[in-house]
Chains A and B, each alone.
Chain A
Amino acid sequence: MATANIEVSETPLVLYALRRADDALILGHRLSEWCGHAPAMEEDMALANMGLDLLGQARELYSYAAKVEGKNNDEDKFAYLRDVRQYRNLLLVEQPNGDFARTMVRQFFYAAFADLYWRAMMASSDTTFAAIAAKSEKESAYHVRHSSEWIVRLGDGTEESHRRAQDAIDDLWAYTGEMFTVDDGERSLIDAGIAIDPATLKPRWLKTITGIVNEATLALPKSDWMQQGGRTGSHSEHLGHLLSELQSLQRTFPGATW
């Protein structure tokens, strides 16, 4: 590959913005893979719509990270010129689409968190974050409604849809813990009132998840083992393939403007 990776000065605030941007970009990318292949035209539109919202959030967060970093980076350099080890997204969002149930469970786990997260972040002392949160909150409210409705339809639909939804919950559960973890850098932002402590959201997240899962006649796994690593660049094997596709043109034609 002709174009080298960029270097990023990961101060706590830059890293914080990049982590949220990467979540949104990678999940948006996964949703966009459905384009033209969804179970119904209405779902093609809904998945593209949510993918587009997430892509918009990623762009705002990358631009903010670039501004805070104050170097020569921008949204496209962050997206296209960092490799797997430099990406900071949750393991959850990089999981493959699988069948529609798996996509919806992944979406539901994330959106139920993002909805609470953005609402809380509207109170951030960082005005840019507060503004991004105010916009994102409107979008995540739609995403959580859409995915909740599907979890209920699938869980309480047919035997087959119930089985598929339960399998998806069982397989993705271990990736949900990472949403609530915090490292020292984030702790300093929390103490400064810039970030919110995600651990405080966990009871409400669990309440939402449990309510919907029960309504769907499904069950949450008993296991509390949680996989970690995305936030520090230790990803699953899936992300490399995703990035090689996402970054191919920028890597092949270095320095070109598109």
Chain B
Amino acid sequence: MYTQALNSSDGDDRGVEDVARANQFQARIDADERIEPNDWMPAAYRKTLTRQISQHAHSEIVGMLPEGNWITRAPSLRRKAALLAKVQDECGHGLYLYAAAETLGTSREELVDGMLSGKAKYSSIFNYPTLTWADIGTIGWLVDGAAIMNQIPLCRCSYGPYARAMIRVCKEESFHQRQGFEIMVTLCRGTAEQKAMAQNALDRWWWPVLMMFGPPDQVSQHSDTSTKWKIKRFSNDELRQKFIDATVPQAEFLGLTIPDPGMKQNENGNWEHSPIDWDEFKQVLAGNGPCNRDRLAARRKAHEEGAWVREAAMAYAEKRKSRQRAQAAE
């Protein structure tokens, strides 16, 4: 569903590399050429992209859990089918993204191990619980909405495999976003209890969604090189602003109140929001959000309890291969 500007700086090791090649590489980036897996690239570019794409993939996979939490309880068969299809899509997005990350030379198993051990991150938003059905609508509307804001520019990212994955992901994601908004419309036109459920979900998700765009520009550690390399095309704050400006009229349409009494529209028409609680953001990234432990525990449990199944598949594939070899030898 989403990648986040959580990358911490890795240090810059381009100094040890061939300056001429680095210049050539930058010239290709500047000319808006796409970098492909067999092309030369600076080690730091490879590392940054591996981290960003794999975090994005982890987010898709962990993101199945908060929504998956409501599949068995979805209130109508139509909603249940849509939600199941959506979660299935997310798993598919995870698979595209792992494949894109693997073109940079790290295996999916290594990347997944990084996530399970807590070394690699996933989007902070999935550490919040889905407490009511309205949360499913809100996730579609706001979380997918924020993801799209972030991913559309990534469709033009300098690394070809990532950009192409994003084009496919964005198509499906916009569909999910509309479905989510439609759930909200239905709730807001429904009973007083349903409307209250929708407002409560917005109250709980609004600030965490704004945090999805990452820290404010003045403290974002990774933006300089990412911008220069055209991995990132807009700053965190620019995207956040774009999202808020697009979302405020949608909330008005729904008759819902954005839980920011200090928010006001400035002369340019942009909505200025109140300060974001960056301490909460840091706590969630540090593993102390409301669901961090549950999410990781669920992924680890699936991985560990599935080990015998994966081993069986491997053992069978081996047996089959040796039987075929023996047959061929006869």
Q: Which residues of A contact B (CB under 8 A)?
A: 25, 29, 32-33, 35-45, 48-49, 51-52, 55-56, 58-59, 62, 75-76, 79-80, 99-101, 152-154, 156-158, 160-161, 164, 245-246, 248-250, 253, 256-258
Contacts and interface: CB of A to CB of B under 8 A. Distances in A.
A76 B311 CA distance: 41
Most buried by A among B81, B306, B312: B312
Contacts of A33: 71-72
Tell me what chain B mostly uses at the interface: helix, strand, loop, or mixed: helix
B142 interface: no
Given A56-B81, A153-B313, A40 B306 contact: yes
A235 B310 CA distance: 34
B94 A41 contact: yes
Those 10 A-B pairs whose CB atoms lie nearest each other, nearest first: A39-B306, A157-B312, A161-B312, A39-B309, A258-B75, A48-B88, A249-B75, A35-B68, A36-B64, A36-B68
A86 B290 CA distance: 40
Given A52-B81, A258-B186, A158 B73 contact: no
B141 interface: no
Contacts of A160: 308, 311-312
Contacts of A39: 302, 305-307, 309-310
Interface of B: 61, 64-65, 68, 71-81, 84-85, 87-88, 91-92, 94-95, 98, 133, 183, 186-187, 190-191, 193-194, 298, 301-302, 305-316, 319
B312 A158 contact: yes
B316 to A, nearest CB: 4
A35 B71 contact: yes
Given A40-B306, A59-B77, A158 B64 contact: no
Most buried by A among B183, B306, B314: B306
B302 A59 contact: no
Contacts of B183: 258
A152 B319 CA distance: 12
A37 B302 contact: yes
B158 to A, nearest CB: 27
B75 A161 contact: no
A74 B187 CA distance: 21
Nearest to A101: B309
A48 B319 CA distance: 29
Contacts of B306: 38-40, 43, 100
B309 A48 contact: no
A40 B307 CA distance: 9
Contact of A55 (B80, B194, B310): B80
